Structure 1
Amino acid sequence: MKKDNNVSLARAKARSTARAATVFLIPALLLIAIFIVYPVIDTFVISEYKWNGISADRIFIGMDNWRALIHDAMFWESFKHNLIVMVFSILLQIPLGMLLATFLDAGGKKFNIFKIIWFLPYLMSSVAIAFLFVYALATNGGIVSSLATIIQGKRATVDLLGTSPQALYTVIGVMAWQFTPFYMVYFIAGYGNIDTSVYEAAIIDGATRWQYIKHIAIPLLGPIFKTACTMSLIGSLKYFDMIWNMTQGGPAGSTELMATYMYKLSFQQFNMGYGSTVAAGMFILITAIALIFNKLFKVKEDY
């Protein structure tokens, strides 16, 4: 009898937990369905039409837009630029964030001022940073041109945003300047989750600080690395605002990304049907790359 009562209580508790979970999940699921799932589905639907995005008349053209996308040299060039941004974002932002976090973790509370100073770029708007560097890198009166003039002893102009391929790598550097502090804080949190007894045990065993970082801290931060790389990968494949305000995809398409190409098609050329196809293609490529990355990048999460 007592066993039956325990079973009944367990079932009642499970039902109560399920009801509470449903109540809390429904609003979130509705928001996801309205603002994420529906727009994605609608983008694929619009990609099958010829439409300017304004008129009520839409001409169904089936897979014509998709066939055009497959043979669109500019789209694949934009995708290549996105891949370059992705690779350099991971190679620059993650290691630099790790180095800054290691420095701050070693310094403790006395280095808190550096946390504030180094985090400031991430607090700024991407649009504001874009305009800041447009003026800073201007050929006339910009910082780089002024330094070149001082070094050479005569007037010199350095056009980093107006020449290819320098423009793309200049923008990548600006992106790294803004987003590295995010990964710095992320790794600081990772260091904070490592039990201090692990470090103390390593020191007692005769390990140096570098040996502790190389052989203990970095392996323990494996899941942090994976998550950080995934976020950097996805973010770099959908950059828009900074590069649009710095170069608008120029010069001659040398900094064109998939997002800027999609924007031009949809809102400048009013080719919403084909612009939606580009957006849908972005969605497929980003999802595929993220899934492949997570499949290949495996880390041990239990120690």
Structure 2
Amino acid sequence: MENRPIDHCEPASSLASHSGNGKPAASTAKPPTHWRDGRDPKPPRSWTDPYASLPLSGPAWGDLLAAVSSQLRSLSGAPGQALVLRPSELTEGVWQCANALDRLERSLRHEMGRARRMELSLFDARVALARARMALKGAQDSERDARRRALEDSLTALPNQESFRGRLHLTMGRAAPTGDSLALLYLDLDDFKAVNDSHGHNVGDELLRIVAARLRSALRSGDCVGRLGGDEFACLLANVPGRHELDEVVKKFARVLSAPVRIGALDLRVRASIGIAVWPGDGDNGDDLLRNADHAMYQAKRQGGGHAYFDRTA
């Protein structure tokens, strides 16, 4: 849109022949019925508003105000000089300015309302974004909890059998290139069924939680323990130098487990039969190693408890 600047000395009658884009446009404004002094303004019959085509948008406001200011200066004339405009020209010029200012006021009110609606929309969008973030966090937390529950024993918070098997396979894969040895301990609590039968499953569950905590506390850095189910646990020991060092580790587990356990008014003692399988040698993969450690655990039970190594000839 081309806005032709208005010269300060340009007569009002000439301004009525153009608009903001150079084309005449009919005015929709209604003239007042009288001036403040009671005179009838009697606007000219051919009424045109040179500002009617200016768009109601922010960039045009400055142009509109500049045009009105220029028009008013041209109507009032220079200070100390007499007016050279005819009354009809002066009336028409004043009407043009009043009409333009009315349009500017409407435009400003429209923009203020639009800005308010935008603020409310922005507020609603921020609320929706906050809710979406909360929903996303809840979904992520639920997913983490689901993964944890899928890999964690709900009673003892130890890795469950699936998770322990995964760690076993992963550790064996890492140890294969370096030839590091691994030892798998398969533990079964002796006479645990009698505890459940005599004192109830609540006591039995508490005993399992205590055993799990003791096994976890006895682990070396890099070792792991998991619950395979029931009263059976497994410990994976990495970087075991030899049979003597492994015997010392197993004895430590036995001492930790055999300490007195107090649950309510009950004083209990725990013993475990421990089967040991060593890799490489006692299995080609994690499943074989776990199965052979289980066989060794039953061999220890047949011996009256304690621990036993896997023996292929047994």
User: Under TM normalisation by the shorter chain, which class is it?
Assistant: under 0.3
Task: State the TM-score, normalizing by the size of structure 2.
Answer: 0.21
If you compute each CA radius of gyration, which structure gives the higher value, 1 or 2?
2
Report which structure shows greater RCO (CA 8 Å, sep ≥6).
1
Task: State the TM-score, normalizing by the size of structure 1.
Answer: 0.21
More helix by share: 1
